[in-house]
Structure 1
Amino acid sequence: MPPDHNDEQPSGVIGAWQSHVKALRDIVQHNISTALIFEDDIDWDIRLKSQLQNFAVASDAFLGSQDRAGDIPITLLPSRQHVPTMSPYGDGWDILWLGHCEQYILDEGPHIIQTDDPTAAAVKHNFFWDGFHPSDMKAYPDHSRAVFRSRQGVCSFAYAVSQKGAQKLLYQMSQNDFSAAYDLMLSKFCDGSQSEEKRGPRMCLSVLPTLFDTYLPRGDMHGDSEINGNVQGHRDQGWSPSIRWSVRVNMERLLEGGDVVDQWPDDRVRD
């Protein structure tokens, strides 16, 4: 445990921290150039491959356009003038925060905007983790997706790390302080509020709507979270908040060749 850890952290918070730190340590020890870390209860769209292809174009463009500010339509991006040396997602990033329950799009830096994305739900279906506050996508047309610099992220459902990013994050998480849940410490890392002058800037990119989200299974809701285990009630049908053609919801249909169900069609009335 870090020397400045909080002894009163719940066991679920400690267990989550240990799992993430172990993954980071393995990535550093084996000199893995890039890796995706994700929690075991997440969900994603059947069309994830095309989503990641679009994200790669946007993230690479962002990294090459940091001197610009405001919205940049992905359709107006010039064709790549170089081949990234580190990954298809561009060079120089530390964290790609691909699965979360909250991110804010700030004015600083560019925002790469894709409109008419059939995998993105209408604005009325995009909410933050509490289910009541609309996400920052409310400023854009329906079926839009934005790639931007991560700020004030919540929930570490899925994130990619580069080798350099894993080294920075491992140092932060294992040698510095342990004062909050892992996702909040990841947010603090990305926001640059940890003596950035001494350790160098952190380049964390994110996306709205999220590409990975938590899956809430049918049955007893007590098992929804190992950290917040006081949830009560019963769920009649499994679902995920931001995923349209859900892999989890459509698992049986995918195996049997049936028609895919869209969780968030435009005409759905949100409960």
Structure 2
Amino acid sequence: MIVAANRRSWSTVGVLLLTTIWTYVWFTSWKVSTANLAWSRNIQSSKIAQAGPGASNDTLGFGAIYVLTENTTTWRVQGLIRAANLTGLSIQIPVQDHISDEAVLAHTGKEPTEGYGHARALLNHLSLLETFLASDHSTALIFEDDVDFSIHIRSQMSLISGAFYNHSAQNPESRHLDPYLHSTWDIFWPGHFGMQFADNVDIFHYKDSHALPWAHLTSEFNNYYTQMAETTPPEDQQLVFNVAPLATFAYAITRSHAAKLLSKLRSDRAEKFDNALHVECKGLWQRCVAPVPQVFHHHQVEGEKSLSSEEGRKEEVEGELGWYMRRHKWTYNVEWSARCNALEVGERVEEGWRCGPGKYDGMM
């Protein structure tokens, strides 16, 4: 009996010792892993916490997010996929067929005034709207494939959603089901490089702590950002109703108005998509709303691919993304680029990675 008791005692001590060792090893490794992966852990947990309806969900409160592209192997699309993964966004990429010159001429009825490239892009946009209309979604957010946004985009869109409701003084209890009051607009334009006011413009102010100060914003479309930078005290961010932006880096549209717009741009034989939408908004044929400053902008890379044989072979081996990684890159008007943070490029600072702006090249 005494021997058995001693065995049980030693067995208990052994279990306690092994448990202590295991706990120490686990705790040490956990601290290392959380120190190294804190960024991704936060993103993953926020994605789970924000699943479901609402402006901060994985489609930013829209029925779907579609990406406009003809080629998924480019640095544009590959970088966007990584940016979406980092921020927990769910994007759909229905690859567009290449539009022939004959198809362009059939649409325009003449040689395109601004070249085949713009007309081809317009037809791709129209094709993507048809894809949206074939779905059962009531709203869609459309990304061009070089779009970029902040790592805080879900919070920013939630703030914009709040601005819609505060502006309208509607009951916020239904906000999670209709984040942007989509019955009050035809085109919601969160990604642009500047805008003009239409008649009866209505400006509503809201606060976005993730937005850059007005003095750090860039636009050659007009001097509105400069005017805002000179106000004392500085203006808050704005949600502008009856506005006519330019550039379709990111725009949202409702099902009913996608059908109307599709029909109108085909009958008008429009040649450039963003110009056509700008005219629609300017003339108040569409009810257009945009945040100012924008929360989506297009991402830029310095230089073109090399034509020399040596550099060309290197680029062929490393692929599009490898070439992109070696280049200077930036996104105007976005401080914490999701693309740069996803690929860990640019300047490493305490909060993450910052892509510094390059020299303005006239192509915002």
> Residues 201 and 243 of structure 2 are in contact (CA less than 8 Å); yes or no, is this contact kept in structure 1?
no
Post-superposition offset of 1:44: 0.1
Q: Counterparts of 2:292 and 2:228 in 1: how far apart (Å)?
A: 7
- Alignment deviations for residues 4-43 of structure 1 (CA, whole Å, 9 cap, x no partner): 6552341111121011101111222334200011100011
Q: For the residues of structure 2 that align with 1:23 and 1:100, how far apart are their CA atoms?
A: 19
Instruction: Give 1:111 deviation, angstroms.
Output: 1.5
After superposition, the Cα gap between the structure-2 partners of 1:103 and 1:204, relative to the gap in structure 1 and judged at 3 Å, is same
Normalising by structure 1, we get a TM-score of 0.72
Question: How many residues are matched?
Answer: 230
Alpha-carbon distance, 1:143 to partner: 7.5
Structure whose residues are more often helix by fraction: 2
Alignment partner of 1:112 is 2:196: no
Is this contact kept in 2: 1:137–1:144, CA < 8 A?
no
Question: Once the 2 structures are TM-superposed, how far is the Cα of residue 90 of structure 1 from its aligned partner?
Answer: 0.6
Which structure 2 residues correspond to residues 169-180 of structure 1 after superposition, within 5 A?
169-178=261-270, 180=271
Task: Describe the SS at the equivalent of 2:140.
Answer: strand
Counterpart Cα distance in 1 of 2:188 and 2:154: 16
Decide which of 6, 26, 50 is 2:155's aligned counterpart.
Answer: 50
Structure with more relative contact order (C-alpha pairs < 8 Å, separation 6 or more): 1
- Displacement of 1:124 after TM fit? 1.2
What is the RMSD of the two structures over their aligned residues, measured on CA atoms? Answer: 3.4
Partner of 2:138: 33
CA distances 1:206-264 after superposition (whole Å, capped 9, x unpaired) = 01111100100244289xxxxxxxxxxxx95200111011112222339x997413457
Q: Does the 8 Å contact 2:228/2:235 carry over to 1?
A: no
Which of 166, 183, 186 is residue 277 of structure 2 equivalent to?
A: 186
The offset of 1:46, in angstroms, is 0.3
Q: Is the 8 A contact 2:196 2:282 kept in 1?
A: no
- Amino acid in the other structure paired with 1:29: A
Q: Helix, strand or coil for the counterpart of 1:206?
A: strand
| 2:262 aligned partner, one-letter code | L
Does the 8 Å contact 1:46/1:246 carry over to 2?
yes
* Alignment partner of 2:174 out of 75, 83, 102: 83
- Indicate the residue corresponding to 2:190 in structure 1: 98
1:207 aligns with: 291
Alignment partner, residue 13 of structure 1: 118
Q: Superposed, which structure 2 residues align to 1:178-257 within 5 Å?
A: 178=270, 180-192=271-283, 196=285, 202-220=286-304, 237-253=328-344
Structure 1 stretches lacking a partner, 5+ long: 65-77, 197-201, 223-234
Distance 1:107 1:61, change over 3 A: farther
Per-residue Cα deviation, 1:137-160 (whole angstroms, up to 9, x for no partner): 436554731101243321111101
Letter in 2 for 1:7: E
CA contact (8 A) 1:42 1:213 kept: yes
CA drift of 1:107 comes to 7.5
Amino acid at match of 1:168: K
State how 1:137-176 maps to structure 2 within 5 Å: 137-138=228-229, 141-142=233-234, 144-176=236-268
What one-letter code is carried by the residue in structure 1 that aligns with 2:304?
D
- Cα separation, partners in 2 of 1:154 and 1:79, compared to 1, 3 Å: closer
What is the percentage of aligned positions where both structures have the same residue? 23
For residues 252 and 4 of structure 1, the distance between their equivalents in structure 2, rounded to whole angstroms, comes to: 40
Q: Which runs of 5+ in 2 are unaligned?
A: 1-103, 307-325
Structure exhibiting the larger radius of gyration computed from Cα positions? 2
